[in-house]
Amino acid sequence: MRLVILDNYDLASEWAAKYICNRIIQFKPGQDRYFTLGLPTGLPRNHPESYHSYMWNNFFKHIDIDPNNAHILDGNAADLQAECDAFEKKIKEAGGIDLFVGGIGPDGHIAFNEPGSSLVSRTRLKTLAMDTILANAKYFDGDLTKVPTMALTVGVGTVMDAREVMILITGAHKAFALYKAIEEGVNHMWTVSAFQQHPRTIFVCDEDATLELRVKTVKYFKGLMHVHNKLVDPLFSMKDGN
Amino acid sequence: MRGEQGAAGARVLQFTNCRILRGGKLLREDLWVRGGRILDPEKLFFEERRVADERRDCGGRILAPGFIDVQINGGFGVDFSQATENVCSGVALVARRILSHGVTSFCPTLVTSPPEVYHKVVPQIPVKSGGPHGAGVLGLHLEGPFISREKRGAHPEAHLRSFEANAFQDLLATYGPLDNVRIVTLAPELGRSHEVIRELTARGICVSLGHSVADLRAAEDAVWSGATFITHLFNAMLPFHHRDPGIVGLLTSDRLPAGRCIFYGMIADGTHTNPAALRIAHRAHPQGLVLVTDAIPALGLGNGRHTLGQQEVEVDGLTAYVAGCSVESALEAASLHPAQLLGLEKSKGTLDFGADADFVVLDDSLHVQATYISGELVWQAEAARQ
């Protein structure tokens, strides 16, 4: 894996954004050559300020993507299992995910794959763990009774199938999860640990997230920053027509 | 019945590279328009899976709701209070010429006149939607003749009237049918005004207090009867006095019906009101400020910049603002507040989704660069025409 450590949240976000940008440009996407970007499932759909609003305001409205190429799991679908299976099928039809970008929960979960999720799971309906419900309460005015208890999510196996995985981890409250994910063994209680067995994983974090790691680990990866920073050197924009 | 998102087949316009006035703030957002209404792009993206048919770059300018003038007596040589042979074309001329000042809707105003004039003129000025032909007519503003003698201002004394004898019937006899009427300005100290105010309010007509010597108590009672507006605050009313603030005291009265917002018109040209007085009113009750021109037939003789001591008043056509008040506040006073006064805030005076796409493109000095009605370009400044 690559472990990229930046000083703070803003620098970590910027580094990750530049990396994704470069990956897309290097891929040379076109009319018949799609770069498939996977993103975490986020909030359950029936939130009034739903995940759709979140994705629109923070991502889709700023780019010129064809709406037909934006696929979001529909938590209000009549047959949820069919919805999940169809999603897996769409991923396959798109040629698989080129880059999956995700975060990590304080309990070490990737997407909504809560502790105890199978490490070869596929897209499905999951019941949320209390930690996740507590974390989501802030979107529902702090009222726990309003937070949905179930969500559709891509599986650990689904993400493992991606050609590359990027995990963003910032903040001291995620430090223990990061430690469990990369310095301990592969364990379904900390589902992010599954990516130790993925050929191309990159963890991007800030200083605070490394607080539970061994000094040796941190020193080693910080020493590689000159190599890591080459990955975000500006490439020519696609618009410049190369 | 038009669907929420406008005719689904119609062209989608996306105005980009601009700052729009929304929720009282200038935000860096795109403005989407379809079928003459403001469109919700998120719904378009997820539910219809469509993109814009045309993008227009606004060069970083400000997009604000079109201005609404609720007190304008004429302009460009046209006098709305004259019973001429071509009332309609007179109104049409003014409606077209005010587009260049960013006004997309207005209330043609008639000053105190004899009944014959009302009977002839009022039926000829119906409510009309705006478009390339001109700004929309929201209804007439009848200022007088039921006003105070001492505070008649420029209104002719011979034609002042009272409704002491038959209250609302007297009003009807004077004006004729009220179908085209939107606002009536009267003096509440006149006998039986409360019956008249209640009757007008019940018919959806906005009652405004003005040209009056009413004290604060009389003014408050009038508000309880239904009055919601004050015509050109400070002018043609008793001056503010610390023991009886008069009509001006309505701005901070605690004896008004709960939740009721009293609106007040201000002619912010630096001449009718000292800018310091305007600022006192604005600070006391910012949500009620409605900018009006009270323009006369001589309007159109040029814009100007006036300096009064340390205050600067910029008069730019029909938008005037006093330095020291935020841009957003000034824009809302010229658009949102008049719409709220007339109960039209769902469709006019706002850039919220579903509202009519009446808006203006302004540069940073708030000069009008372009005017749109129902999403259609109806006026454009020369320089922008390249």
Say if residue B189 is exposed, middle or buried (CB neighbours under 10 Å; 0-12, 13-18, 19+). Answer: middle
Q: Give residue B297's pLDDT.
A: 76
Chain A residues in contact with B46 by the CB 8 A cut-off are 52, 56, 67, 70, 72
The helix/strand/coil state of B366 is coil
pLDDT above 70: percentage of residues in chain A:
93
Q: Which domains does chain A possess?
A: 2-241 (3.40.50.1360)
Closest CA to B70 of B123, B108, B122, B118: B108
Residues of B in contact with A61 (CB under 8 A): 30, 41-42, 45
Q: What is the pLDDT of residue B164?
A: 93
Spatial separation of the C-alpha atoms in residues B202 and B212, rounded to whole Å? 23
* Catalytic machinery residues of B: 294
Write out pLDDT tens, residues A212-235: 999 999 999 999 999 999 999 888
Using a CB-CB cut-off of 8 Å, the residues of chain B touching A68 are 49
Interface of B with A (CB under 8 A): 30, 41-42, 44-46, 48-51
**B46, B48, B50: residue with CB nearest A52:** B46
Contact with chain B for residue A67, Cβ under 8 A: yes
Instruction: Kindly give, in sequence order, each residue whose CB lies less than 8 Å from that of residue B47, ignoring residues fewer than 6 positions away.
Output: none
Cα B217 from Cα B285, distance rounded (Å): 19
Q: What is the pLDDT of residues B102-128, one digit of tens each?
A: 999 999 999 999 999 999 999 999 999
For residue B76, name the pLDDT band (cuts at 50, 70, 90): confident
Q: What is the pLDDT of residue B386?
A: 44
What is the 3-state composition of chain B as percent helix, strand, coil, each rounded to the nearest 5? 25, 30, 45
Annotated binding-site residue? B133: no
CB distance A66–B51 less than 8 Å?
yes
- Sheet containing B319-322: give its strands across: B304-308, B311-316, B319-322
Would you state the pLDDT for residue B166? 94
ipTM above 0.90, yes or no: no
CA–CA separation, B67 and B295 (whole Å): 14
Instruction: Give the number of other CB atoms < 10 A from CB of residue A49.
Output: 11
Say how far apart CA A173 and CA A227 lie, in whole Å.
28
Give the pLDDT band of residue A44 (cuts 50, 70, 90): low
Give the containing element (helix H, strand E) for B229: strand B229-230
CB contact under 8 A, B42 and A61: yes
Distance separating alpha carbons of residues A171 and A207, to the nearest angstrom? 8
Mean per-residue pLDDT, A112-124: 92
CA distance to partner chain A, nearest, from residue B18 (Å) = 14
> The tokens of B177 are what?
């049918």
- Supply the DSSP symbol for B246: G
